[in-house]
C-alpha cells in the first residue's frame, strides 16, 4: 500500500432515534433589527434548526426576532423546563459581541446610543447559561452570533471582535460559528455557513457529537476557503448523539442503492448529478444507458421502503427525495415533518449566484455534506456558466475571496491559465486556502507561471498553517519522501487526521504498517477510522490485516464485515478482488463473507470459501441494495 494524496457502519435497520432521554431546546433567530443592521439568515437558521431538533426528539421553543421583553419570558420558562431535562440545548443566531470578555446577545429592539447601552440594551449570555445549569444533564450551546460590533458610531475599547471563549461547569459544550475573537459570515444562501453545516450533519446516525462538530468544522472551512473555522469548548462528561439510530453507510452509497433497488431512473440521474465523481457513478450511468430495472429484494414491504427513503431524504436535505417521499407515501407517519422541511428548502430556481458558483466550480477536495464538488472535466462542460455565477458571487461578497478562487478554477477550465493565475494570486493573497494550494501546484510544475519550488513550498506552508488538509498532506508526503522530515511529516498527518481528514488517517495507517510513527498494530485502528470518515479504501486495508493476522490476531469474521462494507462503499475494487482474485483471501474469510450474504438472503450455495457464479451474483446484489438486509457490527 502506498501513501495517497488528498482527493473524497452498514447497519440496516433504519429506525428513528431511541428517545430514552428528555430533550428540550430554545432556538432564537434574530434578523429584523429595528436600529442596527438587519441580518438575512438568522430567521431561516432558527426555523430550520427547530424542525431538525423536533425530528430528533427535542421539545423546542422557537423565538423569531426576540425583543428584550420576549427574552425575559424565554429565560424563565427555559430554566423551568431545563430542571427535569436530560439534554438542554440553546441555539442562537443573530447579532452578538463581547464586552470585557463577556458575551452579549442582541434583542431586535436594542437601541444603542452610548457605550452604556452596549450592556443595558442587550442580554448577557450568562443569564441563559444559569437557566441551563438547572439541569444535571448534557447542556449544548450553539452560537451563530460571532459578528463584528454592529453599532456603528458607538465605539468602546472594551468591545472585542466576535465572541469570547466561555468556561463553565461540567457537562457543557459550547459551539461557536467561528473561533473566539473572530467573525462569522452570514452565508450566501438561505442559511449561514455554520448552520447549513450543522443541518447536514445533525441527522447522521450513531455519530458522537464530537465527530459531528468535526464534520461541521471541516465543511465551513472548505466552504469559506479557511476564512471561518467553527470552534467548540467542551466539558462534557458523557457521550451524546443527536441521532441514536445505528450507523449506516454513506449518503452517497445509500442514494445509489435505493435508486437501483427501486429501479428509478430519476433517482439514478439525481445520484449522477450530486456525485459526478462518485464511487457508483459509472454503474449508475450504465444502468441509465441500458434502461435496466433491477431490485435487490423484490418482496420488501412499503413501510420499510418508506422508512429508508425518509431517513435518506431528511439526512441529505435533497429536495427531490423529499418531494418523492411526500408523493409516494401520502399516509407515512413522517409526512408532516417532510412537508415542513420542504417548505424551508429553497427551490433550484431560487438559487443565489453564490450557491450556483459553489455547485458548478467547487473542487472535489473541498467537498462538503451538501456539495460534493465537481471534477475538472465536468467543470469544463459548464465553465462559462460557472464564470458568470462566480463573478457575480465575488462581486456580492468581496470579503470572501473563496468565490474569486472558484472563479479562477472556472477560468482555468476554459484554458485561460494566465488569467486563472492572476485570480488565484489575488484570492491567495487575501487568505483563501484553496487558492494557495492550487497556486502552489501550478508553481511547483511551472504551469502558466515561473517554476519555483521554494515559492510553492511557502504557499503550502501558509495554507497548512491556515488549516488546509490538502496542504498538510502534500507537505507531509514531501517531507517523508525527502531526508530528515519524518517527524514533522507525521505530525502534519496527525493534525489533519484529528481534524477529520480521512486521507491523512489512511496514510498514518500505511506508515504504521511499516513501523513508521507507530507500531504496526496501530495500522488497523487507522484504517478503520479512515473508512468511518469516508475513505472507502480503509475497509479493504483493514480486511487485509484481519485476514492475514498482520499486526493483529486473525479474525475472518471481522474481515468479512470490512469487506462487505467496502463492497458497498468503494469503486468496485473489493467486489472485483473477491470474485476475480479470491485466492488473495483465506478460505475462512471468504466463508465468513458467504455466511453474511446468506443471512442477507443473497447467497444460496454451500459455505465452502470458494468463488463461483452464486457468490458473484450475491456480491452484486449486496452492492446494489444490501444495506437493508442484515446488520453488520
The distance between the two most distant Cα atoms of the chain, rounded to a whole number of Å, is: 83
pLDDT tens digit string along 355-389? 999 999 999 999 999 999 999 999 999 999 999 99
Contact of 208 with 241, CB cutoff 8 Å:
yes
pLDDT tens digit string along 492-540? 999 999 999 999 999 999 999 999 999 999 999 999 999 999 999 999 9
Question: Nine-digit cell at 171?
Answer: 457537562
CA 580 to chain centre: 35
Residues 511 and 462 in one domain: no
Contact of 365 with 349, CB cutoff 8 Å:
no
According to the model, what pLDDT value does residue 11 have?
Answer: 34
According to the model, what pLDDT value does residue 294 have?
Answer: 46
Contact of 560 with 599, CB cutoff 8 Å:
no
Residues 446 and 390 in one domain: yes
C-alpha closest to that of 10 among 539, 574, 549: 539
Collapsed DSSP state (helix, strand, coil) of residue 243: strand
Question: Nine-digit cell at 433?
Answer: 486556502
Residues 70 and 217 in one domain: yes
Q: Is 338 a member of any domain?
A: no
Question: Nine-digit cell at 307?
Answer: 422508512
Collapsed DSSP state (helix, strand, coil) of residue 421: helix
Neighbouring residues of 262: CB distance < 8 A, sequence distance ≥ 6: 295, 305
Question: Nine-digit cell at 445?
Answer: 510544475
Other CB atoms within 10 A of residue 129 CB: 18
Could you tell me where the DSSP H helices lie in 263-382? 265-274, 281-290, 302-316, 319-328, 335-344, 353-361, 376-381
Dihedrals phi, psi of 408, to nearest 5 degrees? -65, -40
Q: Which helix (H) or strand (E) holds 88?
A: strand 87-93
d(CA 485, CA 460): 15
User: Which residues constitute the domain of residue 597?
Assistant: 500-628
Q: Is 152 a member of any domain?
A: yes
Please name the residue that has the C-alpha cell 451563530.
144
According to the model, what pLDDT value does residue 141 have?
Answer: 96
Question: Nine-digit cell at 370?
Answer: 451538501
Residues 86 and 207 in one domain: yes
CA atoms within 13 A on the CB side of 439: 30
Q: At what angle do helices 281-290 and 265-274 cross, to 10 degrees?
A: 150
d(CA 468, CA 510): 21
pLDDT of 276 over the 50 cut: yes
Other CB atoms within 10 A of residue 543 CB: 29
pLDDT tens digit string along 457-496? 999 999 999 999 999 999 999 899 886 789 999 999 999 9
Residues 130 and 224 in one domain: yes
Collapsed DSSP state (helix, strand, coil) of residue 28: strand
| CATH value at residue 621 | 1.25.40
pLDDT of 310 over the 90 cut: yes
Residues 516 and 391 in one domain: no
| CATH value at residue 120 | 3.40.50.1460
Mean pLDDT within 60-87 = 95
Other CB atoms within 10 A of residue 289 CB: 8
The domain total for the chain is 3
Q: Which helix (H) or strand (E) holds 564?
A: helix 556-569
C-alpha closest to that of 75 among 92, 56, 87: 92
Collapsed DSSP state (helix, strand, coil) of residue 98: strand
- For residues 369-390, one letter each, b for 16 or more C-beta atoms within 10 angstroms of the residue's C-beta and e for the rest, the string is bbbbbbeeeebeebbebbbbbb
Residue-wise DSSP of 441-496: HHHHHTSSS---HHHHHHHHHHHHHHT-HHHHHHHHHHHHHSSS-HHHHHHHHHHH
Residues 124 and 198 in one domain: yes
Question: Nine-digit cell at 219?
Answer: 465543511
pLDDT of 119 over the 60 cut: yes
pTM here is 0.91
Could you tell me where the DSSP H helices lie in 135-238? 193-201, 209-223
Contact of 517 with 540, CB cutoff 8 Å:
no
Q: At what angle do helices 281-290 and 251-262 cross, to 10 degrees?
A: 20
Neighbouring residues of 299: CB distance < 8 A, sequence distance ≥ 6: none
Q: Supply angle C-alpha 88, 93, 95, rounded to 5.
A: 130
Collapsed DSSP state (helix, strand, coil) of residue 611: coil
pLDDT tens digit string along 215-234? 999 999 999 999 999 999 99
Instruction: Name the DSSP class of 104.
Output: E
Burial class of 148 by CB neighbour count within 10 A (0 to 12, 13 to 18, 19+)? middle
pLDDT tens digit string along 13-61? 333 444 479 999 999 999 999 988 899 999 999 999 999 999 999 999 9
Other CB atoms within 10 A of residue 464 CB: 23
Q: Is 453 a member of any domain?
A: yes
Residues 140 and 39 in one domain: yes
pLDDT of 603 over the 80 cut: yes
Q: Is 323 a member of any domain?
A: no
Q: Is 13 a member of any domain?
A: no
Residues 519 and 624 in one domain: yes
Dihedral angle, C-alpha 440, 400, 431, 367, nearest 10 °: -50
d(CA 234, CA 82): 19
pLDDT of 298 over the 50 cut: no
pLDDT of 4 over the 90 cut: no
According to the model, what pLDDT value does residue 157 have?
Answer: 46
Pick the last residue of a domain from 200, 217, 234.
Answer: 234
Pick the last residue of a domain from 234, 265, 287.
Answer: 234
Burial class of 78 by CB neighbour count within 10 A (0 to 12, 13 to 18, 19+)? buried
C-alpha closest to that of 625 among 558, 567, 540: 567
Residues 535 and 391 in one domain: no
CA 265 to chain centre: 27
Q: Do β-strands 87-93 and 138-144 pair in parallel, antiparallel, or remain unpaired?
A: parallel
Residues 449 and 511 in one domain: no
Give the confidence band of 155 by pLDDT, cuts at 50, 70, 90.
Answer: low
Q: Is 485 a member of any domain?
A: no
pLDDT of 430 over the 80 cut: yes
d(CA 211, CA 9): 14
Q: Is 102 a member of any domain?
A: yes
Pick the last residue of a domain from 467, 488, 510.
Answer: 467
Other CB atoms within 10 A of residue 535 CB: 25
Residues 450 and 598 in one domain: no
Contact of 554 with 548, CB cutoff 8 Å:
yes
Q: Is 422 a member of any domain?
A: yes
d(CA 89, CA 82): 9
Amino acid at each position: 500500500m502506498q501513501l495517497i494524496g488528498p482527493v473524497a457502519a452498514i447497519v440496516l435497520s433504519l429506525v428513528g432515534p431511541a428517545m430514552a432521554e428528555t430533550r428540550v431546546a430554545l432556538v432564537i433567530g434574530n434578523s429584523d433589527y429595528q436600529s442596527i443592521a438587519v441580518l438575512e439568515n438568522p430567521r431561516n437558521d432558527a426555523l430550520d434548526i427547530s424542525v431538525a431538533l423536533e425530528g430528533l426528539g427535542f421539545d423546542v421553543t422557537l423565538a423569531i426576532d426576540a425583543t428584550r421583553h420576549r427574552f425575559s419570558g424565554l429565560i424563565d420558562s427555559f430554566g423551568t423546563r431545563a430542571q427535569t431535562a436530560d439534554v438542554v440545548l440553546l441555539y442562537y443566531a443573530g447579532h452578538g459581541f463581547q464586552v470585557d470578555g463577556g458575551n452579549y446577545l442582541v434583542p431586535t429592539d436594542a437601541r444603542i446610543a452610548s457605550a452604556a447601552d452596549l450592556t443595558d440594551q442587550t442580554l448577557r449570555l450568562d443569564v441563559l447559561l444559569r437557566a441551563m445549569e438547572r439541569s444535571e444533564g448534557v447542556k449544548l450551546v450553539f452560537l451563530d452570533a460571532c459578528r463584528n460590533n454592529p453599532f456603528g458610531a458607538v465605539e468602546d475599547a472594551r468591545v472585542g471582535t466576535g465572541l469570547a471563549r466561555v468556561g463553565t461547569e461540567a457537562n457543557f459544550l459550547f459551539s461557536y460559528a467561528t473561533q473566539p475573537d473572530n467573525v462569522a459570515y452570514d452565508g450566501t444562501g438561505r442559511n449561514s455557513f455554520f448552520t447549513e453545516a450543522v443541518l447536514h450533519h445533525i441527522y447522521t446516525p450513531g455519530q458522537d457529537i464530537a465527530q459531528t462538530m468535526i464534520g461541521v468544522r471541516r465543511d465551513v472551512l472548505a466552504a469559506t476557503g479557511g476564512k471561518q473555522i467553527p470552534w467548540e469548548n467542551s466539558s462534557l462528561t458523557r457521550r451524546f448523539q443527536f441521532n441514536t439510530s445505528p450507523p449506516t453507510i454513506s449518503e452517497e452509497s445509500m442514494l445509489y442503492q435505493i435508486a437501483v433497488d427501486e429501479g428509478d431512473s430519476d433517482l439514478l440521474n439525481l445520484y449522477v448529478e450530486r456525485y459526478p465523481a462518485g464511487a457508483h457513478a459509472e454503474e449508475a450511468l450504465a444502468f441509465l444507458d441500458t434502461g435496466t430495472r433491477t431490485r435487490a429484494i423484490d418482496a420488501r414491504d412499503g413501510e420499510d421502503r418508506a422508512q429508508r427513503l425518509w431517513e435518506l431524504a431528511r439526512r441529505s436535505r435533497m429536495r427531490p427525495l423529499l418531494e418523492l417521499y411526500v408523493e409516494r407515501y401520502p399516509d407515512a407517519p413522517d409526512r408532516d415533518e417532510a412537508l415542513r422541511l420542504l417548505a424551508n428548502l429553497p427551490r433550484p430556481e431560487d438559487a443565489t449566484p453564490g450557491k450556483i458558483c459553489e455547485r458548478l466550480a467547487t473542487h472535489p477536495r473541498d467537498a462538503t455534506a451538501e456539495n460534493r464538488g465537481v471534477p475538472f472535466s465536468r467543470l469544463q462542460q459548464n465553465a462559462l456558466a460557472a464564470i458568470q455565477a462566480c463573478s457575480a458571487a465575488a462581486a456580492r461578497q468581496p470579503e470572501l475571496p473563496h468565490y474569486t478562487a472558484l472563479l479562477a478554477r472556472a477560468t482555468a477550465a476554459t484554458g485561460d491559465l494566465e488569467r486563472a493565475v492572476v485570480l488565484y494570486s489575488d484570492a491567495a493573497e487575501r487568505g483563501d486556502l484553496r487558492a494557495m494550494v492550487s497556486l502552489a501546484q501550478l508553481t511547483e510544475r511551472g504551469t502558466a507561471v515561473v517554476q519555483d519550488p521554494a515559492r510553492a513550498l511557502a504557499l503550502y506552508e501558509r495554507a497548512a498553517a491556515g488549516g488546509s488538509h490538502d496542504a498538510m498532506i502534500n507537505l507531509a508526503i514531501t517531507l517523508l519522501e525527502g531526508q530528515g522530515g519524518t517527524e514533522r511529516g507525521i505530525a502534519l498527518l496527525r493534525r489533519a487526521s484529528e481534524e477529520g481528514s480521512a486521507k491523512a488517517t489512511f496514510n498514518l495507517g500505511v506508515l504504521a504498517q511499516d513501523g513508521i510513527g507507530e507500531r504496526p498494530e496501530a495500522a488497523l485502528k487507522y484504517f478503520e477510522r479512515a473508512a468511518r470518515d469516508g475513505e472507502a479504501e480503509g475497509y479493504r486495508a483493514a480486511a487485509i490485516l484481519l485476514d492475514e493476522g498482520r499486526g493483529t490476531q486473525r479474525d475472518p469474521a471481522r474481515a468479512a464485515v470490512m469487506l462487505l462494507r467496502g463492497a458497498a462503499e468503494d469503486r468496485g475494487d473489493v467486489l472485483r478482488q473477491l470474485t476475480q482474485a479470491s485466492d488473495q483471501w483465506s478460505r475462512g474469510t471468504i466463508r465468513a463473507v458467504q455466511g453474511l450474504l446468506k443471512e442477507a438472503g443473497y447467497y444460496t450455495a454451500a459455505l465452502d470459501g470458494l468463488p463461483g457464479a452464486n457468490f458473484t451474483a450475491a456480491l452484486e446484489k449486496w452492492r446494489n441494495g444490501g444495506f437493508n438486509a442484515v446488520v453488520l457490527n
